[in-house]
Amino acid sequence: MGTRRFDPWVIAAVVAGLALRLVNLGAAPFWLDEMYTFEMLRVPWDALLGAAMRDNQAPAYYALAKGWTAIGGWSPAALRVPGLLASLACIPLAAAVTRLVAGRRAARMAAWVAALSPFLIQHAQDARPYALLAAVATANLLLLVRFLVRRSPRLGFWWAASAFAVVATHYYGIFFLAGQGLALLILRPEPVRSWLPAGIVTGASCGALVLAAVGRASGDFGASYVFGITAIPGVVWSLLTGYTLMPTSEDLHAFGGTRAALPYLPVALATLPAFALVAAEGLRTMRREGRVLLLASFTVALSAPFAYRLAAGVGVHPRYFAAAIAPTLVVIGAGMVFDRSARGLATVVVLVVLSAATFLHLRDTAHGREDLRAAGRWLDTNVPFDEEILVTSAEMEVLARFTWPDRKFRRYPASGGLIDPARVPELVAAFPVAGRARAIFLVGRAWVTDRDGALQAALAGAYPSCPGVEVRGIRILCFQPRSTATVAAADR
């Protein structure tokens, strides 16, 4: 019984995790980032590496996903399968790491935490690299733990290869690996030759990849993602509960980080003590080698990107920290227990929060993003395909051209960026409705341009309206030209 290779509790967690990840897998249409994945996968094989690196993207996920399209096709559900499988792999991998540092019972709990993880489930249903980053980081962590607890005599090829895969999946993975390097320096396992050569090779190869990426990149490293003082706790909260208990991108742009987070603070403040207690107990009960490794890898993976942002002005986003989910799952799983102690109560609270956040995600896998299907139905019914449609922002123009490729779109204002209120009268006067029967204006992601709705309000006051529609995340406004009589009456 003690040597059973496949733990039935872990297998049950994998089955449950698969079932959860399949719920509404293809329900949400492609969102903006997934659309970029789709476009990247259409690049020919011989140009894929260069295209990914020029777009500031690591290439491994795109190569894997492109190979998968030959089997699975191009639908939203099909393109999300590689992420689903990677997210699913995190369950047994997290259990294996936890068993080595904290025992079989803790491993079972870690498997169920990974199965229920809202962070992992969302990225399982997202055609982006982050679930794969979590999986290869957890596999890499497992190989290092095996070495540190003497299950493996040396760090060798597979550890170096998995480390390279981490960075080849997302460049910020190098911060996770830097944390592992710090742990090795602290622990200094003997003999040094059992790990130092592999460490040098890994550092050199991963560093060379990152330097090559910087040299070939376009130079825009997501600097539009700007966060205030809530950023670091927000990242930790996202690793624990996903994104449903956090402000949306629209809220962040409209209100700023601190104000947008206020509605979610009561839940966070009420439940974070439970997470903290479980995490503290998990660290206390595990082997020293595991404690040092998990703390170092998590701390560096969390803090280094913010230091890099301060130094270089590059962007950060909670999903960039996906490698840090590996130590998070292990520590939380190791600290959970079902009994009548405070720790037992904290375990119940953690499971309730995980389950609630997962439910909220599965209920709306689009997370409140634009209802492109409803907008498309209205356009098909009311707007001929040859009629030009004005679009409010560069992001919405990209989404519109991708979603409705047979339609004609033009951005207005053409310059893009947040509208200066002083320019609103000029933009109203230049609004391209003269000589037309009407002008259709598709307003989406307005926080990028018309955050306060000043342009929309001014247009509504200046031109007679015709029937439009408002669906989630999108307004389709319709304006008619002013008749001569209307102009004369206005002059009088």
Domain count of the chain?
Answer: 2
Q: At what angle do helices 157-169 and 196-216 cross, to 10 degrees?
A: 20
Specify if 482 maps to a domain.
yes
Can you tell me the distance from the alpha carbon of 267 to that of 252, in angstroms, rounded to the nearest whole number? 18
Instruction: Tell me the backbone φ, ψ of residue 386, rounded to 5 degrees.
Output: -95, 5
Domain end marker among 334, 363, 392? 363
Per-residue confidence (pLDDT) for residue 92, from 0 to 100: 98
CA distance 6 to 99: 12
- Exposed/middle/buried for residue 361 (C-beta within 10 Å: 0-12, 13-18, 19+): buried
Going by C-alpha positions, the residue among 128, 14, 118 that lies closest to residue 79 is 128
Residues 350 and 418 in one domain: no
In a domain, 35, yes or no: yes
Give 148's contacts (C-beta < 8 A, 6+ positions apart).
187, 189, 289, 290, 293
pLDDT digits (tens, 9 = 90+) for 46-91: 999 999 988 889 999 999 999 999 999 999 999 999 999 999 999 9
10-residue mean pLDDT profile of the chain (492 residues): values are 72 98 94 92 94 90 96 95 98 97 96 98 97 98 96 94 97 96 95 94 94 75 50 91 87 74 90 96 95 97 87 80 96 94 95 96 91 95 96 92 95 88 93 92 90 92 95 94 55 46
Q: Are 399 and 33 in contact (CB under 8 A)?
A: no
Residue (of 163, 148, 244, 247) closest to 198 by Cα position: 163
Domain boundary residue, one of 300, 334, 363: 363
Whether 296 and 393 map to the same domain: the answer is no
- Would you say residue 2 lies in a domain? no
Which DSSP string do the residues of 95-148 spell out, in sequence order? HHHHHHHH-HHHHHHHHHHHHH-HHHHHHHTSSSTHHHHHHHHHHHHHHHHHHH
SS3 assignment, position 32: helix
Do residue 27 and residue 122 come from a single domain?
yes
HSE-up of residue 436 (Cα within 13 Å, Cβ side): 16
Same domain? 326 vs 460:
no
CB 110 within 8 A of CB 98: yes
To the nearest whole number, what is the mean pLDDT of the chain?
91
pTM: 0.92
Query: According to the model, what pLDDT value does residue 190 have?
Result: 93
Say whether both 395 and 337 belong to one domain: no
Domain assignment of residue 444, given as a range:
372-491
Q: Which of 363, 397, 415 is the last residue of a domain?
A: 363
Same domain as 237, residue 125: yes
Residues 127 and 104 in one domain: yes
Q: What integer pLDDT is reported at residue 446 of this predicted model?
A: 87
